[in-house]
Structure 1
Amino acid sequence: MTMKERANKLKTDIPAVYIALKKKETPTIAKVCAAITVAYALSPIDLIPDFIPVLGYVDDVVILPALVTLTIKLIPRDIFEQCRNESKGLWQDGKLKKWYYALPLIAFWCFILYLIVKVIWF
């Protein structure tokens, strides 16, 4: 499998992991791992900052795919295939079809902005 194929697969697997996180059929340990994976994928903070040459992209190339792979192994195959099929319809013409999936990230950034404003003015 080429790097481009792996990257495309990762683009569908991360949303599928998020959908599996919300399913009640997903085992608890898989939900914990899925939450960590989704949080790490959406987090603007990396273990190794991207501005460090070569090492900065190690987490994007190694850690995130490893987390996704571990999470997929913990989710029963039939449930994950169902989630993968649901995730294929999320993006329509390059735009998120179900935009409300972005709400937790927006809420996080609003909270960070609130804290910054609070520190500066008080």
Structure 2
Amino acid sequence: MDWWWQTLIGLGAALLLIWLLLVVALLVVKPERARLKEALRLLPDLVRLLRRLAGDRSLPRGVRVRLGLLLGYLAMPFDLIPDFVPVLGYADDAIIVTAVLRSTVRRAGLDAVRRHWPGSDDGFAALTRLTGLDR
């Protein structure tokens, strides 16, 4: 067998293993249904926030690239875990968004996120509570 076939098969197996590990992690963590519903209500404001942060030239380039990649991921028509899978279907998106937002706050500061937040103060409070940014 050619080396490129072996590489392709190895890459496919690695991606499958990573996907399975993500599914297991989501099953273990399994977010509460109430928190997930609250997060879904914030989605329109969150997408606008991500777009505004990604376009802010005052933020470090790495942060903007990360946010742009996240927006691309959210726009993809397929998911790591399909949305029809109860609870876990939306949890993968919520976990990835939370990780990127925490990373953004570490690099750019909570003030940058607050400055670009398009929603209400209650929505921002819910966002910081859901993502653990208030700690």
Which ranges in structure 1 are unaligned for 5 or more consecutive residues?
Answer: 90-122
Aligned residue among 41, 49, 55 for 2:74: 41
Aligned to 1:64: 97
Distance 2:78 2:90 in 1: 12
The TM-score, its normalising length taken from structure 2, stands at 0.49
Pick closer, same or farther for the CA change 1:38–1:73 going to 2, 3 Å.
farther
| Count of residues in correspondence between the two structures | 87
Match of 1:23 in 2: 56
Q: Secondary structure at the match of 2:81?
A: coil
* Displacement after TM superposition at 1:50 (Å): 3.0
Q: TM-score, normalised by structure 1?
A: 0.53
User: Equivalent residue for 1:50?
Assistant: 83
Structure 2 unpaired stretches of 5+: 1-33, 121-135
Which structure has the greater CA radius of gyration? 2
Indicate the larger mover: 24-33 or 45-54: 45-54
Alignment-mate amino acid for residue 64 of structure 1: V
RMSD: 3.0
Q: What CA deviation, in whole Å up to 9, does each residue of 1:45-103 have, x standing for no partner?
A: 2122334566534413423332333334332333222111xx239xxxxxxxxxxxxxx
State the partner residue of 2:119.
88
Q: In the aligned structure 2, how far is the partner of 1:77 from the partner of 1:64?
A: 15
